[in-house]
Amino acid sequence: MIGKCETCKKFQSRFLETVISDNGPCYNCKEWQNFTREYGFKHVTSSPQHPQANGKAEKGVHNIKQLLEKATDSQSDPYLALLSYRTARLDCGLSPAELLISRKLHTTLPCYAESKQSEEIIKKQEHLKWKQKQQYDKGTRALGLLAKDDVVRIQDQTAWSRKAIVLQEAGLRSCDVRTEDGHVLKKNRRNLLKTKETFQEEQCGEEDENVDVSHAETVSDLKLLDGHGYVGKGQRSEHKVKRPVRLNLQN
């Protein structure tokens, strides 16, 4: 983990203000928390079991994997492939390198030399985001807000199996909930269904005490019969067992 932090420091000192990631164990350790505090940037985690919330990173990894696979299959230089990817113009009119470091990179890929003003680029980006939002919102509906102590059902893959109670908000479109068995989970709003059921948390301590008492009473009431095992007093096992009469077909 320390090696990963050293690698991140090479980029953090120049570019990053906010890091959005999943909830992997490498982002929950003390070294990463010290790193974020020392360099003064914001770390935002996505909702567990909701990869769509971290879709940009997932898509970026997918694109780079495809690029490297094509470079390997064609036996070409992978660094030239990455350079072409960084200098290829996007829908907004700028390349990834221009968006990141505000300068063009020299590449073997033929590029259009016309440059656009920053205001024009911003307007075009906003228009593209608006079009994407319009297309996405066609098949969706707004989910209601959840308040503290609301009873909800948690979606596990395809079933709304577990019942929980809302504790607090945990970032954008996420909530911390506590299940009936006492586990505290972070869930996306899409995976929570508000219900009118009653929430009753399991009392593990009282149940354990009851189990111990009943077990002690049972052991004290046992007696040993003929060395074959313990049989409780007054239990059904003390009754005489009448063996069934079977047909003797050997005679």
pLDDT of residue 13 exceeding 90: no
Mean pLDDT of 36-57: 79
Mean pLDDT of 68-79: 90
Q: Could you tell me if 68 and 78 are in contact, meaning their C-beta atoms sit under 8 angstroms apart?
A: yes
Mean pLDDT of all residues belonging to the chain: 74
Residue 187 vs residues 21, 29, 53, 156, 231: alpha-carbon distances, Å: 15, 21, 12, 11, 50
Measure the CA–CA gap between 244 and 174, rounded to whole angstroms. 64
Q: Could you tell me the residue ranges of all domains in the chain?
A: 9-110, 150-194
According to the model, what pLDDT value does residue 15 have?
58
pLDDT of residue 185 exceeding 70: yes
Mean pLDDT of 55-81: 88
pLDDT of residue 225 exceeding 60: no
Per-residue pLDDT reduced to its tens digit, 94-124: 788 887 777 778 877 776 666 566 677 778 8
Q: Which residue has the higher pLDDT, 246 or 236?
A: 246
**Predicted confidence band at 251 (pLDDT cuts at 50, 70, 90)?**
low
Q: How many CB atoms lie within 10 A of CB 62?
A: 10
According to the model, what pLDDT value does residue 68 have?
92
**Predicted confidence band at 238 (pLDDT cuts at 50, 70, 90)?**
low
According to the model, what pLDDT value does residue 223 have?
40
Give the class (CATH, top level) of 9-110.
Answer: alpha beta
pLDDT of residue 87 exceeding 90: no
Per-residue pLDDT reduced to its tens digit, 116-160: 666 777 788 888 888 888 888 887 787 888 888 888 988 887 788
pLDDT of residue 81 exceeding 50: yes
DSSP symbols for the chain = -HHHHHHHHHHHTTT-SEEEE---GGGSSHHHHHHHHHHT-EEEEPPTT-GGGGHHHHHHHHHHHHHHHHHHHTT--HHHHHHHHHHS--TTSS-HHHHHHSSPPP-SS--------HHHHHHHHHHHHHHHHHHHHTT--PPPP--TT-EEEEEETTEEEEEEEEEEE-STTEEEEEETTS-EEEEEGGGEEE---------HHHHHHHHHHHHHHHHHTEEE-TTS-EEETT-GGGSPPPPPP------
According to the model, what pLDDT value does residue 111 have?
67
According to the model, what pLDDT value does residue 214 have?
41
